[in-house]
Structures are given as C-alpha cells and as structure tokens.
Amino acid sequence: MARIVKKFGGTSVGDMERMRRAALRVKRAHEAGDEVAVVVSAMAGETNRLIALCQEASPLHDAREYDTVVASGEQVSAGLFAILLQSMGVPARSWTGWQVPVRTSDRHGAALIEEIDTRRLEERLARREVPVMTGFQGVGPDRRVTTLGRGGSDTSAVALAAALHAERCDIYTDVDGVFTTDPRIVAKARKLERITYEEMLEMASLGAKVLQIRSVALAMTHGVRVQVRSSFNEVSGTLLVNEDEIVEQELVTGLAYSKADAVITLYGVPDRPGRAAAVFGPLAEAGIIVDMIVQSTTPADGHAEITFTVPAEELGRALDALEGAREKIGFARLESNSDVVKISVIGIGMRSHAGVANTMFATLAEKGVPILAISTSEIKVSVLIDAAYTELALRALHSAYGLDAA
Amino acid sequence: MARIVKKFGGTSVGDMERMRRAALRVKRAHEAGDEVAVVVSAMAGETNRLIALCQEASPLHDAREYDTVVASGEQVSAGLFAILLQSMGVPARSWTGWQVPVRTSDRHGAALIEEIDTRRLEERLARREVPVMTGFQGVGPDRRVTTLGRGGSDTSAVALAAALHAERCDIYTDVDGVFTTDPRIVAKARKLERITYEEMLEMASLGAKVLQIRSVALAMTHGVRVQVRSSFNEVSGTLLVNEDEIVEQELVTGLAYSKADAVITLYGVPDRPGRAAAVFGPLAEAGIIVDMIVQSTTPADGHAEITFTVPAEELGRALDALEGAREKIGFARLESNSDVVKISVIGIGMRSHAGVANTMFATLAEKGVPILAISTSEIKVSVLIDAAYTELALRALHSAYGLDAA
C-alpha cells in the first residue's frame, strides 16, 4: 500500500469523458489498496474564460476579486470529480482550498502556500475516502480566496504530497512525460525515464512547459518523488529523482528552447567607470530582469558594444528605460530584435565532463548558425541564436549529444 | 439615508453590459447616501450549465458535491460585480456564503438559512463599503457549501435585509413588477403598485413566478418591505406591504394560473368506511401531495367517483401507487389528464365580501367553460379547467373582476 497524490491538469479533465477516465485511474489505484488523494485543475479553457470575464469587467481589477472569480473553475472540477468517483463506488469528497485549509500568503493572484493543514484529510484517508482537492488555490490570512498563479495546480499537488508524506506525486498531463527535447520539433526526441530535480528545474526555466517551475523547486526541497505521465495512455512517464538515483549518467539529459527573450545591442558606449551600472541601473529600476550579457572588448576609440537579453514582453519598456537614460549612458545607437531563440543544453553530467559547451559551439558553427550570446551555469549552457535556426540547431545538437532515439 | 438590500437576478446580470447597468444603479444609490448591500444570482444560464454537468457526471449525485459545483456560479457573479463597482469608484467587495457566513441547515440542495452573521458586513457598511453577497448559498454545520434550491437568491436577499434591519429589499428582475395576471396572456393586465404579503404568497404558490415563495414567507414573517422592479427601466415596481398599508382595498387583487397539476378520476369506488384513506394512503406513502379533491355524492348502487389533482410531474408515480392498491380501493376504472390548468382568483378583500366565488363560476359558465374541480381558502378561489380554456378564462375573469387597465 502506497500513499499517492494524483494531479490531473486541465486537458485531463477537459470534458466529462476525460474526467471519467481520470477517475477510473484513481479507482484502480484505490482498489489496489493505495491511499489516493486527488488534485484537480479547472476544465481546459475554463480559467481563460473566467480571466476574460474579469478583464471585461475592468482591465485594472482587484486581485482579490479576480481570485474569487477564477478559483471557481477548480471548485467545479473537484465537485464533478468526486461525483464521478462516487458513481464508481469509490468513497470521495471535494475539498476547496479554504476547507482543507491550504493557507497561503496574501499575495493575491500569485500567492505562496504557507501551510497545508492535513488533519481533516488524514482522517478521511484513514477511512479509505479519496479527498479531491482544488488545485491552484488556497485561503489568505484575511479568509479570502487566493490563487497561486498560472500552472499553480502542479504546486498544489506537490505541496499536498509533501504535507501528506506521500510516496509519490503523479502529475497527469497531455504528454507522455519529459522528453530530451520538444518532440514536435525533433522527431527523434526520446522520453526520459528519469530526470534529476535540478535538470528538470533548468528544463522548466528554459522553456520546457511540462511542469511549473515552482512545483519542481518545491519537490526538490521536500524530496517529493514526482512522476509526470500522460492521462491518455498507460506509458510509464518520467520520474523526478535525486542525483544518486540516476544509475547511468548521460553527459547531456535534454535540450530546452525558449522564444521568450528579446536581444538589445547598444553601440558606441563610451568606456568609462560605471558604464555597466549606467546601462543596467535604469532597467533594474523598471523591474526588468536582464539575462545574457555580452560586452565587446573595447576597441581603440574607447567605445564598446553591449548586448543583452530581456523578456520579450518587456522589450518596449526596456527600450523606453534605455532611451530615457541615453545621455547618461552615452550610447550612439541601439538595436533590438525579438525574433531570437535561446537554446539550452542541460545535464548534471557537465559537472564532471568538460567539452559540453565546445560540442555545442562546434556543432552550430558547422551548420553555419551564428551565436549572438552565450550564458552558462553549472549544469547548462545556453546560446542565443536567430529564431529561424531553431529547428536546425535543435536537431543538430540532439544528434551531436547522442540523444536521438534508436 | 436608508439601508437597502438590492438583489439582481440571473437576467439582470446575464452579461457584462447588464451587470454594468445593475452596478450603476448601486452606484447611484450609494452616492445618494444610501447604505447598500447587494445580493447576486449566477449569470443567466450558468446554473443550468452547472446542473447539467452534475447530471452528466452521474444522474444520482451527492447533493453536497452538487452544491459545491452549482454554488460557483454566484461566486463568479459576486466577484465580477465587485470589480465593476470598484471600477466606478464605489468601494466594494464580494462575500461568499461561507465568508459572511450565512449559516444554513445541512439539507443540501434545499438548505434553510438559520442565521446570517452580519458583524463583518456591518463593519464594512459602516465605512461605506458595498458588500456584494452571493445569493442562493450558505455554509452548513459541517463547513460544506450548501444551496437553497432554485430561486433561492430571493430568499438570500430577504434574509439579509432582515438580518441587517434594512429599510427595503429591492428585487430586480426582468419584469416591471407584480401584475394582476400574466400580461403575456391578458394584454389588459395592470402592474400593481402594492400587494399584501399574503396575496403575494398565494400568487407565488399558484403560479406567478416573479418571486420565490419562501422569500415572500420570510418577508412576511420578518416584516421586510420588498420591492419587485425591473432592472431594465426606471418604472417604480410593486411594493409588498402589510394589509393595513393598502388604502383602497380591491375585492380581487390578481389572477394566477398554473399548469403544474394533473387530474385523476377513479370510477366505481365502493362506498365503505375508510374509502378516502384507502385512496389517499398509498399516495401519501409515496410522498405525493394531493391538492383539489371532489367526491361525487354516492349514487344508488353504492359506488362513487373520486376526482383529485396531483403535481403533473408525479402523475406516473401516482398512477403506479393507485394501480398497486387497486384491490384494496376496489375502483372499477381510472382516468387521468395532465392537460389541465388551475386558475385562481386572489384577494384579501374576499374576507369581507361574499360573491367572489360566485362571480367566478357565473363568468366561466357564461363562456361555456366546464369546471373540473374547485378549492377555496380564506383569500383565494381556485378552479381546475381544461388547459385549452386558459386564455379565454383568464381574460373573462380579469374583466369580470374589474381588473382591466383603463
């Protein structure tokens, strides 16, 4: 007998037939003797519909009211899921965030889970009832409904698994697991049987959308074994594990890509003390996070180029901030481009093996792909390239690192 | 300055534009210095959508889960309504049933309000904030969401008005008020400026759908002044008042009609002691309420006819119960008809004036309308007739009692 939290995302509960199939999975585990707690998202499309209603009511709306409106989606799913389980003979009941309660901070729309009080759920589990908890939400210190931000149901599930000391947290989604890279772009992408928390964290941060970053960080912190798997088939999925559980360590585990960045280049920046502060100060003040930075070696005339990336959705604000500080920085000219992609090679094997970055640069050079910027960390190397090269670069790198499916 | 509860029904908050107009009404009252508390229904169609989802999940579903699912509709309306008020500069916040709290019995799907704890709302009203409360729902003794049954938002509004000692409860709907009879059938129907609680109770019980019966009973018990008015125009509506507030008492106030009944006739029932018990016992056991009863005078052969009405939706079950008791009752033959209408004449003036029933019978006889059954109470007379005569009978009676608009 194992205690397992099963989380079903929006597509997995997208209509009654899919919800029924999800409930059947829970029934099977329950009948096999497992103690199961369920976490559900809103039915696919529902959260967007509710957000649109809030926007229609007022573009600038009270986040507390937004939370009240949007949280209703999971309440509906949880009630329906409990009805389905009961109709299959499985004792079940729905639990909203305030009923459990899932106590959160008061940062409405992006609240943090502070504590899940599991006393009531433990009582129900002890009598073999299946609790069906609303994902994505909790209750704030002022007894108001809070939500955790988009994708927050993953975080709810992992937090519940940690609080219940569950043996595993199964995240059911619309893909078979975590892949070496996006199978829609690289046909030879392979599903990973296992991946370490750290690698998954990098993959999620760098563009893989299969799990919400916060949920991975939470799983790593609390040592929750997370399994990502499809709700549409019986394929085994991908297990998130500690480094010591990986038997045969590959050099590179996966490739991620993200089109969420834009690149800005300042030309003719005078070489004087405090130059970097003059450029990045105004951006920091505007709350814009700068990622990759390349500074050209200063040429003879005492002027340099500075290239860096910002989130694409904040490009306009970044340019405004830079233009506003033009005199202070003293740059001659500015160029920007949001048609770029950041490609990242990720693997904890990099720690002990040199040459991973070199393979990347050599492979891209061979294919004639210019590298606009580079950034590295302990377990990843990222390059910024023109978006037109996305597919070419991903396929070439996937082969170069020996990731292709046989 | 007056304290007023304003309740907006499903059509009054049916889309964002209508909800905005409703919020504007609240804003005007607020700016005029009134203390306003709002009660909202789910957006038109939403409750039906949610009920259908529960049905789809399982025709026999846990009423507690049904309540969890269905109550989400008002939660959405309340949040959106608060956003709209805020966008107009009116301080406002939404309150769900459990947040207020509105404490109810645990009869899920048809819960009774036991207490509305108004402390938190009073605090907000004192600082001129507008509370926007979800209608139709509360929280049960087990901290689960309860709903009050269809149309329950009227009851929520009246109960809130009573608990807050409000001067008036405005019920905004899609008609101009309470009419002498259904204006879709009788073009000369007049809107009533005032109607007594008792008359309204009879009107609602006998088919007028403008207010939920329970809300009228509650208003009568607590002396809440209820105004029924349209949310689509500035017409003054109908005020529910005590009898002593009616200055010029009409003999008859209005005509109601209902097609919710079916009639059953048993022929050849032997005249022996306990005959009535033999007929109505099995129906009572099946939980079927019998309304109008006519027993023919026993003819020479010792056999009689018994005619009575049951709710049309329970006709099948009633016939089963009677067939099951056929030997015990000993009837020869059974006929039923659900194509009938119950037409009722209502007015507290009847108490002091004879002849109201007579006018009814004479008018119908003159038009050649056969009466199948009759029942009377202190302030109403009802007749059962063939449904085909509905329009003819209503028009003739409306004229006969002098109700026609000038």
So what's the pLDDT on residue B297? 64
Average pLDDT of the segment spanning B17-29: 97
So what's the pLDDT on residue A299? 64
So what's the pLDDT on residue B270? 84
Other beta carbons within 10 Å of B301: 9
Instruction: Evaluate if residue A353 carries a pLDDT over 90.
Output: no
CB nearest A16 (choices: B19, B56, B64): B56
Pairing of strands B238-241, B226-230: antiparallel
Order across the sheet with B380-386: list the strands: B254-258, B340-346, B380-386, B373-377
Measured between CA atoms, the residue of chain B closest to residue A144 is: B99
So what's the pLDDT on residue B314? 92
pLDDT tens digits for B323-380?
999 988 889 999 999 999 999 999 988 887 778 888 999 999 999 999 999 988 888 9
Give the model's confidence band at A145: pLDDT under 50 very low, under 70 low, under 90 confident, else very high: very high
Query: CB distance A79–B54 less than 8 Å?
Result: yes
Q: Contact, B181 vs B256, CB < 8 A? A: yes
Instruction: Evaluate if residue A47 carries a pLDDT over 90.
Output: yes
Q: How far apart are CA B110 and CA B116, in angstroms?
A: 17
* Token pair 């008609």: residue: B175
So what's the pLDDT on residue A298? 61
Which positions ≥6 away from B265 have C-beta within 8 Å? Answer: B305, B306, B307, B334, B335, B336
**Which of B18, B76, B77 to probe by mutation at the A interface, max A CB count within 10 Å?**
B76
Query: CB distance A66–B83 less than 8 Å?
Result: yes
CA distances from A275 to A285, A301, A306, B395 (A): 16, 15, 10, 90
pLDDT tens digits for B165-213?
999 999 999 899 999 999 999 999 999 999 999 999 998 887 777 888 8
Q: How far apart are CA B133 and CA B146, in angstroms?
A: 15
CB pairs under 8 A between A and B: 112
Instruction: Evaluate if residue A208 carries a pLDDT over 80.
Output: no
Distance from CA of A155 to the nearest CA of B (A): 23
CB nearest A79 (choices: B65, B76, B83): B65
Q: B23-32, B61-70, B246-255, B287-296 — which is least confidently predicted?
A: B246-255
Q: A4-18, A245-259, A294-308, B108-122 — which is least confidently predicted?
A: A294-308
Q: Give me the architecture of the A3-174 domain, per CATH.
A: 3-Layer(aba) Sandwich (3.40)
So what's the pLDDT on residue B207? 74
Instruction: Evaluate if residue B268 carries a pLDDT over 70.
Output: yes
- The alpha carbon dihedral of A387, A390, A396, A402 has a sign of positive
Q: How far apart are CA B221 and CA B233, in angstroms?
A: 30
Instruction: Evaluate if residue B271 carries a pLDDT over 80.
Output: no
Average pLDDT of the segment spanning B54-59: 96
With an 8 Å Cβ cutoff, is A66 touching chain B? yes
Global pTM value: 0.86
Backbone angles phi, psi at A73, to 5 degrees: -60, -45
Average pLDDT of the segment spanning A237-241: 94
CB nearest B54 (choices: A19, A71, A80): A80
Instruction: Please give the single-letter amino acid code of residue A117.
Output: D
So what's the pLDDT on residue A300? 60
Number of H helices, E strands in chain B: 13, 20
pLDDT tens digits for A109-121?
999 999 999 999 9
Please spell the DSSP secondary structure of B192-248, one letter per residue: -SEEEHHHHHHHHHTT--SS-HHHHHHHHHHT--EEEEESSS----EEEE-GGG-SS
Report the candidate in B181, B185, B184, B178 with the shortest Cα–Cα distance to residue B389.
B185
Backbone angles phi, psi at B4, to 5 degrees: -130, 135
So what's the pLDDT on residue B298? 60
Give the model's confidence band at B224: pLDDT under 50 very low, under 70 low, under 90 confident, else very high: very high
Query: CB distance B60–A96 less than 8 Å?
Result: no
Q: How far apart are CA A5 and CA A7, in angstroms?
A: 6
Measured between CA atoms, the residue of chain A closest to residue B63 is: A83
Instruction: Evaluate if residue A251 carries a pLDDT over 90.
Output: no
Average pLDDT of the segment spanning A72-101: 98
pLDDT tens digits for B84-107?
999 999 999 999 999 999 999 999
Question: What percentage of chain A has pLDDT greater than the value 70?
Answer: 98
So what's the pLDDT on residue A296? 74
Tell me the two tokens of residue B287.
């939980």
Backbone angles phi, psi at B397, to 5 degrees: -70, -40
pLDDT tens digits for B118-131?
999 999 999 999 99
Is the bond preceding residue A101 a cis peptide, omega within 30 degrees? yes
Distance from CA of B168 to the nearest CA of A (A): 27
So what's the pLDDT on residue B295? 79
Task: For residue B247, count CB atoms less than 10 angstroms from its CB and return exposed for 0-12, middle for 13-18, buried for 19 or more.
Answer: exposed
CB nearest B69 (choices: A53, A76, A86): A76
CA distances from A104 to A40, A100, A112, A143, A238 (A): 18, 12, 5, 10, 29
Backbone angles phi, psi at B352, to 5 degrees: -105, -5
Q: How far apart are CA A262 and CA A238, in angstroms?
A: 32
Q: Which of residues 115-144 of A touch B (CB under 8 A)?
A: 143-144
For residue A229, the cross-strand partners are A172
Q: Contact, B254 vs B210, CB < 8 A? A: no
Query: CB distance A99–B144 less than 8 Å?
Result: yes
Provide, as residue numbers in chain A, all residues whose Cβ is less than 8 Å from the Cβ of B56: 16
What is the distance, to the nearest Å, from the Cα of residue A367 to the centroid of all Cα atoms in its chain?
30
Pairing of strands B340-346, B380-386: antiparallel
With an 8 Å Cβ cutoff, is A80 touching chain B? yes
Instruction: Please give the single-letter amino acid code of residue A133.
Output: M
Tell me the two tokens of residue A364.
């891209």
So what's the pLDDT on residue B345? 93
pLDDT tens digits for A289-315?
888 888 776 666 778 888 999 999 999
Query: CB distance B50–A99 less than 8 Å?
Result: no
3-state secondary structure of A136: coil
Instruction: Please give the single-letter amino acid code of residue B370.
Output: P
Question: What percentage of chain B has pLDDT greater than the value 70?
Answer: 98
Please spell the DSSP secondary structure of A247-312, one letter per residue: SS--S--EEEEE--EEEEEEEEEE--TTHHHHHHHHHHHTTPPP--EEEPPP-TTSEEEEEEEEEG
Which positions ≥6 away from B361 have C-beta within 8 Å? Answer: B371, B383
Dihedral (C-alpha) B91, B95, B99, B104: value to the nearest 10 degrees?
Answer: 140
Provide, as residue numbers in chain B, all residues whose Cβ is less than 8 Å from the Cβ of A50: 76
Range B168-177 burial, b when 16+ CB lie within 10 A, else e: bbbbbbebbb
Q: How far apart are CA B197 and CA A66, in angstroms?
A: 39
Provide, as residue numbers in chain B, all residues whose Cβ is less than 8 Å from the Cβ of A71: 75
Report the candidate in B191, B195, B180 with the shortest Cα–Cα distance to residue B225.
B195
* Token pair 């079903």: residue: A8
Which positions ≥6 away from B223 have C-beta within 8 Å? Answer: B242
So what's the pLDDT on residue A59? 93
pLDDT tens digits for B290-326?
988 887 766 667 788 889 999 999 999 999 999 999 9
Tell me the two tokens of residue B278.
């033999």
Which positions ≥6 away from A85 have C-beta within 8 Å? Answer: A23, A26, A27, A38, A91, A92, A130, A132
So what's the pLDDT on residue B299? 64
Distance from CA of A23 to the nearest CA of B (A): 11
With an 8 Å Cβ cutoff, is A53 touching chain B? yes
Provide, as residue numbers in chain A, all residues whose Cβ is less than 8 Å from the Cβ of B58: 83-84, 86-87
Query: CB distance B72–A68 less than 8 Å?
Result: no
Q: Contact, A114 vs A126, CB < 8 A? A: no
Q: Contact, A204 vs A173, CB < 8 A? A: no
- Reported ipTM: the value is 0.83
CB nearest B57 (choices: A56, A58, A84): A84
Instruction: Evaluate if residue A248 carries a pLDDT over 80.
Output: no
Report the candidate in A401, A251, A255, A254 with the shortest Cα–Cα distance to residue A342.
A255
Provide, as residue numbers in chain A, all residues whose Cβ is less than 8 Å from the Cβ of B96: 68, 145
Provide, as residue numbers in chain B, all residues whose Cβ is less than 8 Å from the Cβ of A65: 79-80, 82-83, 86, 93-94
Measured between CA atoms, the residue of chain B closest to residue A66 is: B79
With an 8 Å Cβ cutoff, is A98 touching chain B? yes
Tell me the two tokens of residue A199.
């690698």
Measured between CA atoms, the residue of chain A closest to residue B81 is: A57
Tell me the two tokens of residue B220.
């009568």
